[in-house]
Amino acid sequence: MTTLRDSCAEVARALHTRGWVANHDGNVTCRADGGRFLASPTAVSKRLITAASLLTVDEDGRRVAGDGKPFSEIGLHLTVYKNRPDVRAVVHAHPPAATAIACAGGRQLERPFLAEAVVSLGPSIPTVPFAPPGPDACAALAPFCAGADAVLLGNHGVLAWGGDLEQAYLRLELVEHLAKIALEAERAGGIRPLPESALAPLLDARRKAGLGGAAAGPARPVVACAPAPHADVATIAPGRPKEPELAEIIREELLRALRP
């Protein structure tokens, strides 16, 4: 049976196999139980990552289990998790084409030119302005988390996230694929973005598919007597809630269940 640790390590090794990282570049995290995260360790080639070598870190990025040290960019991952409760995995790498565009200002990916990519990633792949590693870089990233599922990091690389490791990895893959197409399109005469009239139905399809921060919305309370210990959901506090509040929650949940 494949475990979360196995999947996280597999994604880390895939980054090396695809040529998206070199040396000790790149990092992978995913949500675990109890407000903890699995994380690839620093100063280790991604080709050598195994399930046993992953660290467990807390919500402040401090190591609570495992050998080695957390990577220095852990704050970027935690910034995404704090701003996107729906996100369960974050992947960072330096795929050559997308990183080249990130180092050139990101213009080629600012406006969408493939319909499928709009549904998968949203209206654009924004470029987060370069900032020194640490709090400044986290502050620069934070405003982009809600509206994007992948970003270029100025003069740095690509950061992608998703509801699980596979989705985060595939979004990173798509960014690099789009970057290659964009660079070829410029050589072929220039990129022609999609017409503005095409965006609204594509974004509506994205919303209906439950993709993106806007679709996820804020965390909603659930009516439950005893949620599972590992459940990552908000619950109504013990004691009897006000009847109108309870009635409203139940009504909304029923409406959601009945929607086609």
Q: Residue 125: helix, strand or coil by DSSP?
A: coil
Please give the pLDDT value at position 238: 43
Q: Is the pLDDT of residue 240 over 60?
A: no
**pLDDT tens digits for range 88-98:** 999 999 999 99
In angstroms, rounded to a whole number, what is the distance separating the alpha carbons of residues 87 and 165? 10
**pTM (two decimals):** 0.82
Confidence of residue 220 (pLDDT cuts 50, 70, 90): very low
The pLDDT of residue 146: 94
Least confident of 54-63, 174-183, 247-256: 247-256
pLDDT at 48 over 70: yes
Q: What is the average pLDDT score of the chain? A: 88
Closest residue by Cα to residue 92 from 32, 176, 180: 176
Domains, the chain, with CATH or none:
4-208 (3.40.225.10), 219-258 (no CATH)
User: Bigger pLDDT: 34 or 248?
Assistant: 34
Which residue has 């196995």 as its token pair?
A: 6
Which band of pLDDT confidence, cut at 50, 70 and 90, is reported for residue 257?
A: very low
Residue-level pLDDT at 237: 45
pLDDT exceeds cutoff 70 at 225: no
Residue type, 3: T
Among 117, 101, 130, residue whose Cα is nearest residue 212: 117
Catalytic residue among 73, 116, 184, 243: 73
Residues 6+ apart with CB under 8 A from 150: 121, 125, 158, 159, 160, 161, 171, 172, 174, 175
Indicate if the pLDDT at residue 254 is higher than 80: no
Residue 118: what pLDDT? 96
User: Would you say 160 and 79 are in contact if contact means Cβ atoms under 8 Å apart?
Assistant: no
Q: What is the CA radius of gyration of the chain?
A: 20
Instruction: Give the residue-averaged pLDDT of 71-90.
Output: 97
| Cα–Cα distance, 220 to 241 (Å, whole number) | 15
Percentage of the chain beyond pLDDT 90 is 80
DSSP state of 48: G
Per-residue model confidence (pLDDT) at position 217:
54
* Token pair of 86 as six digits: 């729906």
Structure tokens at 246: 């309870």
Predicted pLDDT at 212: 87
Quick check: 241 and 228 in contact, CB under 8 A? no
pLDDT of residue 1: 79
Q: What is the pLDDT of residues 137-195, one digit of tens each?
A: 999 999 999 999 999 999 999 999 999 999 999 999 999 999 999 999 999 999 999 99
Q: What is residue 159's three-state secondary structure?
A: strand
Active site includes 10? no
Tell me what pLDDT residue 236 has: 41
**Maximum Cα interatomic distance, the chain, rounded to a whole number of Å:** 66
CA 206/CA 213 separation, integer angstroms: 11
Q: Are 217 and 191 in contact (CB under 8 A)?
A: no
Q: Determine the average pLDDT of the residues in 18-29.
A: 98
